[in-house]
């Protein structure tokens, strides 16, 4: 009987060890365990080693504290201008209070999905189709604020909400594609017109600059020509003035002046004049000059007397 008692004691010790080992719990990083004692909430275990009292304590829920992403299926919504479209949303959230998440609401993810759908319908119902397609950021912010306020009592913090797809009816899509095509064609025509306008402006500016350069060249040529003529006139006048000055400085006699006058009348006689009137005081001087020339001719070497 002694060996039987020893076996029972050993069995009891092994059983106790097994129970103790099975009730040692390790909570991993970014997780939390909600523990109930005798059916009532007792505590929330954080990361680390914990010992649960057998048959008394119970782990009611294992909660992940990581950021979670939920992609909800498309929901039918109607805009203010009575266009029905399908919109699916993506919600990013994290659990901030494991106790509220466990006891706050039944099936929290289902509650978030229904709340997102109703909020989306309310917001889209106040917008027209064009505003819905161009106001994603505004819609996202409104949904996130409403969801975050509603889920705060559930221990959930909504980080952000994104409209993943907005799918209007087929006929609306066709009309939008036609509109986009027409808009692209209009922009192409505007660009072509702008290019043509720019080209014409450049050509006109080139012609203008060319005309200005030609006018400047003609102006410069005339200025240089006028300057040359003026310089020539000044040179002639200066030479004439210098001649008069030299003549005055030489103090010519009355006979020299008369002789110069005679030379001037001789040059005039070479022109087209048919009649020249010679003053009397020059006539005698002219005869004297003729006689003097004849004497010089007879005295010239090479002349012979008969």
Query: Does position 1 have pLDDT exceeding 60, yes or no?
Result: no
CA distances from 192 to 145, 199, 202, 214, 240 (A): 47, 10, 15, 33, 71
> Which of 12-16, 109-113, 257-261 has the largest mean confidence?
109-113
**What's the whole-number mean pLDDT along residues 34-47?**
92
Query: Does position 275 have pLDDT exceeding 70, yes or no?
Result: no
Tokens 């939920």, residue? 70
Q: What is the pLDDT of residue 294?
A: 53
Top-confidence residue, 306 or 98: 98
Query: Does position 7 have pLDDT exceeding 50, yes or no?
Result: yes
Rg (CA), the chain: 62
Kindly report the average pLDDT of the chain as a whole number: 81
Q: What is the pLDDT of residue 185?
A: 85
Going through 18-73 in order, the beta strands assigned E by DSSP cover 24-27, 31-37, 40-45, 48-51, 57-64, 68-71
Q: Which of 30-39, 56-65, 197-206, 258-267 has the least mean pLDDT?
A: 258-267
Tokens 């005039």, residue? 268
Q: What is the pLDDT of residue 256?
A: 58
Query: Does position 96 have pLDDT exceeding 90, yes or no?
Result: yes
Q: What is the pLDDT of residue 305?
A: 38
């Amino acid at each position: 009987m002694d060996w039987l008692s020893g076996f029972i004691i050993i069995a009891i010790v092994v059983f106790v060890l097994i129970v103790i080992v099975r009730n040692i719990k390790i909570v991993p990083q970014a997780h939390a365990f909600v523990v109930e004692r005798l059916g009532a909430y007792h505590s929330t275990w954080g990361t680390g080693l914990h010992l649960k009292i057998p048959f008394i304590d119970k782990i009611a829920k294992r909660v992940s504290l990581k950021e979670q992403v939920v992609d909800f299926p498309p929901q039918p919504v109607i805009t203010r201008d009575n266009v029905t479209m399908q919109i699916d949303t993506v919600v990013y959230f994290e659990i901030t209070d494991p106790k509220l998440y466990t006891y706050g609401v039944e099936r929290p993810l289902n509650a978030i999905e229904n709340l997102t759908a109703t909020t989306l319908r309310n917001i889209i119902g106040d917008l027209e189709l064009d505003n819905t397609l161009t106001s994603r950021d505004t819609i996202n912010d409104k949904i996130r604020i409403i969801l975050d306020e509603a889920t705060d009592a559930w221990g959930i913090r909504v980080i952000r909400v994104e409209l993943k797809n907005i799918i209007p009816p087929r006929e609306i899509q066709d009309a939008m594609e036609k509109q986009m095509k027409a808009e692209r064609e209009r922009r192409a025509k505007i660009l072509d017109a702008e290019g043509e306008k720019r080209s014409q402006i450049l050509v006109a500016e080139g012609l203008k600059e060319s005309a200005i350069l030609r006018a400047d060249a003609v102006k410069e040529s005339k200025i240089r020509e006028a300057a040359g003529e003026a310089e020539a006139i000044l040179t002639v006048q200066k030479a004439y003035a210098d001649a008069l000055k030299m003549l005055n400085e030489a103090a010519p006699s009355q006979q020299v002046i008369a002789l110069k006058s005679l030379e001037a009348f001789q040059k005039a006689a070479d022109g087209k004049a048919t009649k020249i009137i010679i003053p009397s005081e020059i006539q005698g001087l002219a005869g004297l000059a003729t006689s003097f020339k004849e004497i010089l001719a007879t005295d010239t070497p090479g002349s012979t007397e008969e």
